[in-house]
């Protein structure tokens, strides 16, 4: 059974935080071969959105609301390799958008998506904003959620 966990940084246990950081490192640094500083202090103010199966993170996203801008961003989106192709990423994005609409109604939602995932995000209502760009050695594209 898949459950959802939504926690502020201060609510995460040391084990939960360790698992998040270990999985992010395995995917973004090792698998994608992108050498960058993942620990950027933004985690301290982020909301950590996790899908869990048997208390193990199977999908994750970091939400960064900006009260000053009345805008919300999310990133560090991942699916555990063992759960890819099973619809887990789709469930994560569906549940994440539902959470954002419920908690940040009317706020613009913007992301810097890896370019190869552009179509995936477009299928959920995101539209491209500008040209692609390099971010830590990986081509990204800025996208904005277009509400219906």
Which pLDDT does position 123 carry in this prediction? 95
CATH architecture of 2-109: 3-Layer(aba) Sandwich (3.40)
Q: What is the pTM of this model?
A: 0.93
Token pair for 119: 């179509």
* Contact between 46 and 61 (Cβ < 8 Å): no
Radius of gyration of the chain from its Cα atoms, rounded to whole angstroms: 15
Which pLDDT does position 137 carry in this prediction? 85
* Contact between 31 and 80 (Cβ < 8 Å): no
Q: What is the full per-residue pLDDT of the chain (148 aa) written as tens digits?
A: 999 999 999 999 999 999 999 999 999 887 778 776 678 899 999 999 999 999 999 999 999 999 999 999 999 999 999 999 999 999 999 999 999 999 999 999 999 999 999 999 999 999 999 999 998 888 999 999 998 7
Which pLDDT does position 30 carry in this prediction? 78
Indicate the pairing of strand 109-114 with strand 126-128.
unpaired
Indicate the pairing of strand 56-66 with strand 71-79.
antiparallel
DSSP 35-75: ------SGGGG-EEEEEEETTEEEEEEEEEEETTTTEEEEE
Domain boundaries, the chain: 2-109
Comparing C-alpha atoms, which of 106, 87, 86 is closest to residue 95? 87
Token pair for 147: 């509400």
How far separated are the first and last CA of the chain, in Å rounded?
A: 31
């Amino acid at each position: 059974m898949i459950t959802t966990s939504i926690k502020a940084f201060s609510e995460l246990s040391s084990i939960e935080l360790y698992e998040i950081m270990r999985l992010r490192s395995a995917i973004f640094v090792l698998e994608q071969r992108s050498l960058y500083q993942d620990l950027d202090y933004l985690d301290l103010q982020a909301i950590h959105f996790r899908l869990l199966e048997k208390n193990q993170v199977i999908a994750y996203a970091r939400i960064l609301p900006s009260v000053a801008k009345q805008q919300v961003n999310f990133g560090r989106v991942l699916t555990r390799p063992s759960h890819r192709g099973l619809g887990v990423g789709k469930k994560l994005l569906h549940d994440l958008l539902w959470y954002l609409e419920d908690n940040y109604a009317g706020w613009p939602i913007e992301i810097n998506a890896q370019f190869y995932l552009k179509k995936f995000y477009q299928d959920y209502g995101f539209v491209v904003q500008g040209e692609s760009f390099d971010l830590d050695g990986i081509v990204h594209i800025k996208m904005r959620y277009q509400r219906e």
